[in-house]
């Protein structure tokens, strides 16, 4: 037998109300989104001549009345006729938004699932709708429902084009009768919606002379063309997102329309070496409505420290929009972002190398982490990864370093050896000694460097890393003659004794070098094996 599943409204209604959304506060996002859609639709219809007359001042008002215990959302959009209410509101899960998008190819519409409106019942005992369609010769209508499957619908004298939704807030949801709470929700979800939103509390005296201020920025810069924006625009927008942060290092304006739509701006923040946990995360929007700041999956992990916004109507969201559904699109978006970031870094490296190097302290962290976790990124980053030489303070790319050290820094397997320091101050004596031999010692002193080195030894063929204080540094090329010591043999022996006692205890070898003015007179080396053991924690304590 084949047949059709039937739904019993009495039973399904409470489920929708209670369980559709786990977060009750999103009712406001849904209703303001509907008000925004209604306004955008009117703009679209007016643009193609289907709606006659003045558009007027398209705005959304959210009005709190604590005495009446109501919260109203008022728009001046297309409104609804009685037939439309019957079609769009009385039919649960019928989305007028989707219908409109299909008909007018209007990609700016937010609605999607045809369920958002009913989230009003999560917080209300009763919901009233007053509406007047933009269509000529239509009457105002009134609809009311107390959350049971019965409703009232009749014509009323409501003459303002648009819709007023009145929520009679229920006892358990009293929190939504607090002005601060409502303002907080509006700023969280609606900060960048394209229609101005005003919040007002009935009975609150407005201060004389203060200008009415919308809670949102209707034209955030990520929807604009990169060519029309200045450095100040980008930095100003960053401040708007994160008022207390330092100016970011740079940014990437994402603008994709194939094979998916995605816009956004990613900022590279200044990262302090202390590696503090970042609380200002990338925010995900869908048609300018805030969705979440859990962008895992969409943004590759190594870019999770970036900040800014990503807006895509094509990101597959579930009904509550609170999380992303596993979807091949998400993987594509992720790959695209990685590519964009790599391209941008390469461009900055090529065109503004000095400024790139100045930012390396922060940038290096992303780049190295990216190289370790993403092979596509690694491939591109090989060209712009730089290493800072400890004495000259000059930055070398891998290729440049290889060329500069070709003659001296090869091990017996013929591999190029990168000599590095993990601590330029403590290891200064070694650095000086290596430098005197003509070696180039690069800094690898940040948190990621130890794993980076391990990883790159497997990824970079023909490259081997050696720490500057490892004994094999001396074996790279034939030992060079030391300058004659200015100490007598006796003096050297005395000096040696001074160092030998503590040195023996630490398994290091002491060698008294010719004391000249340029190099350190004493060099204590620890066998590479001992050093690695210590790094692994097998041997405690010790000198550097
Ligand atoms: P969706 O927005 O996903 O389509 P909703 O349940 O939020 O679903 O809304 C259902 C439909 O009701 C909308 O698509 C729209 O046609 C209509 N509607 C809701 N709110 C308004 C409003 N403020 N003005 C005009 N139409 C509205
Ligand atoms: Mg909706």
What confidence category does residue 539 fall into, taking pLDDT thresholds of 50, 70 and 90?
Answer: very low
| Closest CA relative to residue 116, chosen from 95, 144, 141, 143 | 95
Residue 352 pLDDT greater than 70, yes or no: yes
- Report the chain's mean pLDDT, rounded to a whole number: 87
How much is the average pLDDT of 503-529?
A: 59
Decide: 87 and 96 in contact? Cβ < 8 Å.
yes
Q: What is the pLDDT of residues 240-288, one digit of tens each?
A: 999 888 999 989 999 988 888 999 999 998 876 545 556 778 999 999 9
pLDDT of residue 522: 60
Is a pLDDT exceeding 60 seen at residue 521?
no
Task: Evaluate if residue 504 carries a pLDDT over 70.
Answer: no
**Could you tell me if 390 and 419 are in contact, meaning their C-beta atoms sit under 8 angstroms apart?**
no
Tell me how crowded residue 227 is: count the other CB atoms within 10 A of its CB.
Answer: 6
% of the chain exceeding 70 in pLDDT: 87
pLDDT at 267: 95
The per-residue pLDDT for 544 is 35
Per-residue confidence (pLDDT) for residue 211, from 0 to 100: 81
| 116 alpha carbon – ligand 2 mean position (Å) | 4
Residue 265 alpha carbon to ligand 2 centre in Å: 26
Q: Judge residue 246's burial from the number of C-beta atoms within 10 Å of its C-beta, 0-12 exposed, 13-18 middle, 19 or more buried.
A: exposed
Q: Alpha helices of 197-319 — where are they, by DSSP H?
A: 231-241
Residue 188 token pair: 């969280």
Long-range contacts from 502-508, C-beta under 8 angstroms, 24+ separation? 502/543, 506/541, 506/542, 506/543, 507/539, 508/543
C-alpha of residue 260 to centroid of ligand 2, in Å: 22
ipTM of the complex: 0.99
Contact status, residue 149 vs residue 13, Cβ threshold 8 Å? yes
The pLDDT of residue 480 is 43
Instruction: Report which ligand 1 atom has the smallest distance to the Cα of 112.
Output: 3
The alpha carbon of 96 and the centre of ligand 1 are apart by a number of angstroms equal to 6
- What pLDDT does residue 478 have? 45
DSSP one-letter string for 89-149: ISSTT--HHHHHHHHH--TT----SS-GGGGGGGTEEEEEEEEE-SSTT--EEEEEE-SSS
Residue nearest to ligand 1 atom 18, measured at CA: 34
Higher pLDDT, 103 or 537: 103
CA distance 508 to 309: 53
Ligand that lies nearest to the alpha carbon of residue 113, given by its number in the listed order: 1
Over range 169-181, report the average pLDDT.
Answer: 97
The Cα 271–Cα 268 span in angstroms is 9
- Looking at residue 115, what is its pLDDT? 87
- Which residue, chain included where needed, has tokens 């074996």? 475
Q: Which of 100-109, 138-147, 317-326, 473-482 has the lowest mean pLDDT?
A: 473-482
Residue 485 pLDDT level (bands cut at 50, 70, 90): low
Q: Which residues line ligand 1 (CB under 6 A)?
A: 30, 34-35, 38, 75, 77-80, 88-89, 95-97, 111-117, 163
Structure confidence at residue 130 as a pLDDT band (50, 70, 90): very high
Asked whether the predicted pLDDT for residue 477 surpasses 60, the reply is no
Max CA-CA distance within the chain?
114
The whole-number pLDDT of residue 294 equals 85
Q: Which residue's alpha carbon is at the smallest distance from atom 8 of ligand 1?
A: 114
- Cα–ligand 1 centroid distance for 59 (angstroms): 17
List the residue whose alpha carbon is closest to atom 4 of ligand 1: 95
Q: Kindly state the average pLDDT of the residues 370-374.
A: 94
Nearest CA to ligand 1 atom 16: 96
Q: Which atom number of ligand 1 is nearest to the Cα of residue 92?
A: 6
pTM metric for this prediction: 0.81
What is the Cα–Cα distance from 288 to 33, expressed in whole angstroms? 10
At residue 447, the 3 state secondary structure works out as coil
Which residue CA neighbors atom 19 of ligand 1 most closely?
34
The answer to whether residue 540 scores a pLDDT higher than 60 is no
Nearest protein Cα to ligand 1, atom 15: 96
From the CA of 79, how far away is ligand 2's center (Å)?
A: 14
Least confident of 92-96, 206-210, 287-291, 428-432: 206-210
């Amino acid at each position: 037998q084949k047949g059709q599943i039937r739904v019993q409204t009495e039973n399904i209604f409470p489920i929708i109300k209670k369980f559709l959304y786990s977060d009750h506060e999103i009712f406001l996002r849904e209703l303001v989104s509907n008000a925004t859609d209604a306004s955008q639709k009117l703009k679209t219809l007016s643009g193609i001549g289907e709606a006659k007359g003045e558009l007027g001042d398209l705005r959304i008002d959210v009005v709190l009345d604590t005495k009446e215990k109501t919260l109203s959302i008022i728009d001046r959009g297309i409104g609804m006729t009685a037939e439309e209410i019957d079609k769009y509101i009385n039919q649960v899960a019928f989305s007028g938004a989707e219908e409109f998008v299909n008909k007018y190819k209007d990609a700016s519409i937010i609605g999607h699932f045809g369920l958002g409106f009913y989230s009003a019942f999560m917080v209300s005992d009763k919901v009233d709708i007053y509406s007047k369609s933009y269509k000529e010769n239509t009457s105002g209508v009134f609809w009311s429902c107390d959350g049971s499957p019965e409703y009232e619908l009749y014509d009323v004298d409501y003459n303002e084009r648009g819709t007023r939704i009145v929520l009679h807030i229920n006892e358990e949801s009293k929190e939504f009768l607090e002005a601060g709470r409502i303002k907080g929700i509006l700023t969280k979800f609606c900060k960048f919606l394209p229609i101005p939103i005003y919040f007002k509390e009935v009975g609150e005296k407005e201060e004389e002379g203060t200008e009415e201020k919308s809670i949102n920025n209707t034209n955030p810069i990520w929807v604009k063309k990169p060519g029309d924006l200045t450095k100040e625009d980008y930095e100003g927008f960053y401040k708007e997102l994160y008022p207390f942060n330092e100016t970011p290092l740079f940014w990437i304006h994402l603008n994709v329309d194939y094979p998916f739509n995605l816009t956004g701006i990613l900022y590279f923040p200044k990262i302090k070496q202390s590696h503090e946990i970042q609380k200002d995360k990338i925010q995900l929007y869908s048609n300018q409505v805030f969705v979440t700041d859990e962008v895992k999956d969409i943004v590759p992990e190594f870019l999770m420290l970036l900040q800014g916004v990503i807006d895509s109507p094509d990101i597959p969201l579930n009904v509550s929009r609170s999380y992303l559904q596993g979807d091949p699109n998400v993987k594509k978006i992720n790959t695209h972002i990685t590519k964009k970031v790599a391209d941008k870094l390469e461009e900055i490296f090529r065109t503004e190398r000095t400024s790139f190097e100045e930012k390396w302290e922060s940038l290096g962290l992303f780049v190295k982490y990216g190289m370790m976790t993403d092979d596509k990124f690694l491939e591109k980053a090989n060209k712009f990864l730089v290493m800072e030489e400890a004495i000259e303070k000059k930055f070398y790319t891998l290729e440049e370093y290889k060329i500069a050290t070709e003659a001296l820094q090869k091990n017996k397997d013929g591999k190029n050896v990168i000599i590095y320091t993990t601590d330029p101050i403590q290891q200064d004596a070694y650095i000086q000694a290596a430098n005197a031999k003509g070696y180039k010692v690069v800094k690898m002193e940040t948190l990621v460097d130890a794993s980076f080195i391990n990883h790159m030894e497997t990824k970079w063929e023909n490259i081997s890393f050696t720490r500057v204080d490892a004994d094999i540094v001396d074996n790279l090329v034939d030992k060079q003659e030391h300058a004659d010591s200015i100490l007598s043999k006796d003096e050297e022996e005395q000096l040696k004794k001074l160092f030998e006692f503590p040195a023996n205890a630490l398994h290091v070898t002491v060698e008294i070098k010719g004391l000249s003015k340029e190099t350190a007179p004493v060099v204590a080396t620890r066998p590479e094996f001992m050093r690695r053991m210590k790094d692994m924690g097998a041997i405690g304590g010790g000198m550097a």
